[in-house]
A and B are shown apart, each in its own frame.
Chain A
Amino acid sequence: MKTETGPRRNGATRQTKFRIVRPTSAPDDLRIDPVLVERWLVRFLRDELVVARNIEKAVVGISGGVDSAVVAFLCARALGPENVLGVRMPYATSSPTSAKHGRLVIEKTGIHDLLVDITAAVDGYLAREPDADAQRRGNVMARVRMIVLFDQSAKIGGLPIGTGNKSERMFGYFTWHGDDSPPINPIGDLFKTQVWALARHLGVPRAIVEKPATADLIRGQTDEDDLGVTYAQADRILSRLLSGHDVADIIASGFSEKDVTLVKRRVDATHWKRHLATTAMLSNTAINEFYLRPVDY
Chain B
Amino acid sequence: MKRRTQRVIKPLGIVPRPKPNGTRQPKPSIATSLALVQFAPTKGDIDANLAAIGDAFVALKRDRAPFPNVVVLPEACLSGYFVEGAVREVALTSDDLFNRLRRTAAKTLGASHPSFDIVAGFYEVDGGKLYNSALYATLGKDAAIRHVHRKLFLATYGVFDEERFVSRGRTIEAFDTPYGRAAILICEDACHSLSTTIAALRGAQILYIPSASPGRGLEDAEPANVRLWRDITRVAAAEHGIFIAYSGLLGFEGGKGFTGSSRLIGPFGDLRAEAPFDTPAILRVDVDPVDLAAARAALPMLGDLEANLAELTAMLDDEAALRPRPRQRPKPARRR
Asked whether A297 lies within 8 Å of B40 as measured between CB atoms, the reply is no
Q: Can you report 11 A-B residue pairs in the complex whose CB atoms are below 8 A from each other? A: A28-B219, A33-B219, A36-B222, A36-B223, A37-B218, A40-B223, A40-B278, A44-B252, A294-B83, A297-B2, A297-B86
Docked Cα-Cα span, A99 to B122, in Å, equals 52
Q: What A residues does B83 contact at CB under 8 A?
A: 294, 297
Within 8 A of A (CB), among B52-110: 80, 82-86
Asked whether A36 lies within 8 Å of B218 as measured between CB atoms, the reply is yes
For residue A295, CB closer than 8 A to chain B, the reply is yes
Chain B residue with minimal CB distance to A45? Answer: B252
Asked whether A36 lies within 8 Å of B220 as measured between CB atoms, the reply is yes
Docked Cα-Cα span, A44 to B223, in Å, equals 14
For residue B29, CB closer than 8 A to chain A, the reply is no
- B-binding segment of A50-58, A124-132, A252-260, A272-280: A50-58
**Given A295-B254, A296-B254: A40 in contact with B218 (beta carbons within 8 A):** yes
Asked whether A297 lies within 8 Å of B44 as measured between CB atoms, the reply is yes
Nearest CB on A from B114, distance (A)? 32
Asked whether B86 lies within 8 Å of A293 as measured between CB atoms, the reply is yes
Asked whether B257 lies within 8 Å of A40 as measured between CB atoms, the reply is yes
For residue A14, CB closer than 8 A to chain B, the reply is no
Q: What B residues does A291 contact at CB under 8 A?
A: 85
For residue A47, CB closer than 8 A to chain B, the reply is yes
Nearest CB on B from A251, distance (A)? 25
Asked whether B218 lies within 8 Å of A47 as measured between CB atoms, the reply is no
For residue A123, CB closer than 8 A to chain B, the reply is no
For residue B156, CB closer than 8 A to chain A, the reply is no
For residue B251, CB closer than 8 A to chain A, the reply is yes
Within 8 A of B (CB), among A277-297: 290-297
Question: A51 touches which one: B7, B219, B254, B255 (CB < 8 A)?
Answer: B7
Asked whether A48 lies within 8 Å of B220 as measured between CB atoms, the reply is no
Interface size class of B (residues with CB under 8 A): 20 to 34
Asked whether B84 lies within 8 Å of A294 as measured between CB atoms, the reply is yes
Asked whether A54 lies within 8 Å of B43 as measured between CB atoms, the reply is no
**Given A51-B7, A294-B83: A44 in contact with B255 (beta carbons within 8 A):** yes
Within 8 A of A (CB), among B250-285: 251-255, 257, 278
For residue A1, CB closer than 8 A to chain B, the reply is no
For residue A21, CB closer than 8 A to chain B, the reply is no
Asked whether A51 lies within 8 Å of B218 as measured between CB atoms, the reply is no
Within 8 A of B (CB), among A124-167: none
For residue B121, CB closer than 8 A to chain A, the reply is no
Docked Cα-Cα span, A52 to B43, in Å, equals 8
For residue B6, CB closer than 8 A to chain A, the reply is yes
Q: What B residues does A51 contact at CB under 8 A?
A: 7-8, 40, 251-252
For residue B328, CB closer than 8 A to chain A, the reply is no
0 or 1 for each of B1-45: is its CB under 8 Å from A? (1 = yes): 011011110000000000000000000000000000000100110
For residue B241, CB closer than 8 A to chain A, the reply is no
Asked whether B221 lies within 8 Å of A47 as measured between CB atoms, the reply is no
Docked Cα-Cα span, A31 to B82, in Å, equals 28
Asked whether A52 lies within 8 Å of B252 as measured between CB atoms, the reply is yes
Identify which of B3, B5, B7, B218 gathers the most chain A CB atoms within 10 Å of its CB: B218
For residue B215, CB closer than 8 A to chain A, the reply is yes
Chain A residue with minimal CB distance to B251? Answer: A47
Chain A residue with minimal CB distance to B279? Answer: A43
For residue A32, CB closer than 8 A to chain B, the reply is yes
Nearest CB on B from A2, distance (A)? 36
Nearest CB on B from A65, distance (A)? 23
Docked Cα-Cα span, A36 to B222, in Å, equals 7
Identify which of A35, A36, A293, A295 gathers the most chain B CB atoms within 10 Å of its CB: A36
Docked Cα-Cα span, A55 to B280, in Å, equals 21
Q: What B residues does A290 contact at CB under 8 A?
A: 85
Docked Cα-Cα span, A48 to B215, in Å, equals 15
Asked whether B215 lies within 8 Å of A40 as measured between CB atoms, the reply is yes
**Given A33-B218, A293-B86, A296-B43: A47 in contact with B5 (beta carbons within 8 A):** no
Nearest CB on B from A50, distance (A)? 8
Q: What B residues does A40 contact at CB under 8 A?
A: 215, 218, 223, 257, 278
Q: What A residues does B85 contact at CB under 8 A?
A: 290-293
**Given A32-B218, A36-B222, A51-B40: A44 in contact with B2 (beta carbons within 8 A):** no
Asked whether A47 lies within 8 Å of B252 as measured between CB atoms, the reply is yes
For residue A100, CB closer than 8 A to chain B, the reply is no
Docked Cα-Cα span, A294 to B254, in Å, equals 7
Nearest CB on B from A120, distance (A)? 36
For residue A39, CB closer than 8 A to chain B, the reply is yes
Nearest CB on A from B289, distance (A)? 38
Nearest CB on A from B59, distance (A)? 19
Question: A32 touches which one: B8, B219, B253 (CB < 8 A)?
Answer: B219
Q: What B residues does A28 contact at CB under 8 A?
A: 219
Docked Cα-Cα span, A40 to B219, in Å, equals 12
Asked whether B221 lies within 8 Å of A292 as measured between CB atoms, the reply is no
